[in-house]
Amino acid sequence: MAVDPVNDHAVIAGGGQGGLYRSADGGAAWTQVQRGNAAVLSIAYSTFNPTVVLAGTRGAGALMSTDGGVKWSAVAGLEGRDVRAFGFARTMIVAGTDHGVYSSDTGATWTSLGLTTSGIDAIAVAAVNPPVRIVAGGDSGPSGTVPLWTSADAGATWTALKPAISGSIVTKIAAGPLPPNGTIRPLVLGTNTGLFLSQDNGTTFTSLSSGALLPSTDYTQVGFTAAHFDRFYVASDGGGGESGGIWATGDSGQHFSSLRPPLQAVTALAVSGDEQPILYVATFRPSDHAVFLWSYHDTGGTPQQPLGVTPTASGVRPHSPQPSGFDLFKWLSSAQAPYIALGVIALAVVVLAVVSQLRSRRR
């Protein structure tokens, strides 16, 4: 999922079975804006031009919108690629793929920047003005080291980083805002075993998950607030275990608070640009593979799980009336509850599949 950096109610979600959906009202209603059979792996609004949105797929390249996500078209140069992550500088856009790093001036046409023998899962722009600094991490690299590289010349040359961090796969890299009077952006990096923070462009990292604050698990989602270098959110699906969730920090990871999602396996997270941001969250239920969308308005208070809420196939509280028709995006609300259910697109897909199967049997 991704949320417009200047409009916290414009949200785009991508499906594991393909297709893009857009909401203009914070999830109360959704419109399918792009069909497709390839799983959506990444969605990103341009930091510097929010009308530009990019979506990466598994094996089918990338799509681009120039009107905030209403209309989409395929880009050139990424055909057949798994496009897993995007990063934005003032003069260029970068993408992490299964065949290295690619770059584009506008997002419409892409060329390779190298690292072609590595699968790049995560990418971040640490310096947005020339000379552009890029940090990229992946699932394959030099034997015995975490696959992590940096470029201080907009991708012309790459240097392998060898920080003392755990893990074999870099699952996420996020660059935060510049600190006041600072020149280096903080980098938060997730691996398949932990979470780490760098304040020197990736040369060294401090573990944020080695103590009692966070579990040592895979961290695939990181989102900074727009104006605070020390305030960010992290999420994990738990790696198939019971250690997933969402956590918030306001002091660069010295302390974390659990946001206690109704389901622990968090598979997507998007943070709006407000001072008190809205977090859009996707959760996954392993028992039946059901997907649920939620939102959390962080007002700075003590986070609590919604009282009496058990997610169902429609994403409504068990004691609430079942919504009629296809109105599956009712808000969950409670005086104590920060989470509001946005609903599930998946149910409509299942219904259509059943109808199609019944029709084929009748023939």
d(Cα 61, Cα 97) in Å, to the nearest integer?
Answer: 9
Question: Distance of CA 84 to CAs 19, 98, 284, Å?
Answer: 16, 8, 20
* The pair of three-digit structure tokens given for residue 27, joined into one six-digit string: 């999830």
| Residue appearing with tokens 């966070």 | 214
Question: Distance of CA 70 to CAs 9, 32, 234, Å?
Answer: 14, 9, 29
CA atoms within 13 A on the CB side of 270: 25
Length of the chain: 363
The pTM of this model reads 0.82
Maximum distance among all Cα pairs of the chain, rounded to whole angstroms? 71
d(Cα 202, Cα 81) in Å, to the nearest integer?
Answer: 27
pLDDT score of 106: 96
The domain locations on the chain are 38-362
Q: What is the CATH number of domain 38-362?
A: 2.130.10.10
At 346, is the secondary structure helix, strand, or coil? helix
d(Cα 39, Cα 233) in Å, to the nearest integer?
Answer: 25
d(Cα 112, Cα 37) in Å, to the nearest integer?
Answer: 25
CA atoms within 13 A on the CB side of 295: 28
d(Cα 170, Cα 64) in Å, to the nearest integer?
Answer: 25
Torsion of CA 304, 307, 311, 317, to 10 degrees: -140
Report, in angstroms and rounded to the nearest whole number, the Rg of the chain calculated over CA atoms: 20
pLDDT score of 144: 64
Q: Measured on CA atoms in the order 89, 158, 220, 23, is the torsion positive or negative? A: positive
Digits of tens for pLDDT over the chain (363 positions)? 999 999 999 999 998 889 999 999 998 899 999 999 999 999 999 999 999 999 999 999 999 999 999 999 999 999 999 999 999 999 999 999 999 999 999 999 999 999 999 999 999 999 999 999 999 999 866 666 789 999 999 999 999 999 889 888 999 999 999 999 888 999 999 999 999 999 999 999 999 997 778 988 999 999 999 989 999 999 999 886 778 999 999 999 999 998 888 888 999 999 999 989 999 999 988 888 888 888 888 877 665 544 433 333 333 222 222 222 222 233 333 333 343 334 434 434 333 443 344 444 444
| Residue appearing with tokens 């040359």 | 157
Bridge partners for 222 per DSSP: 234
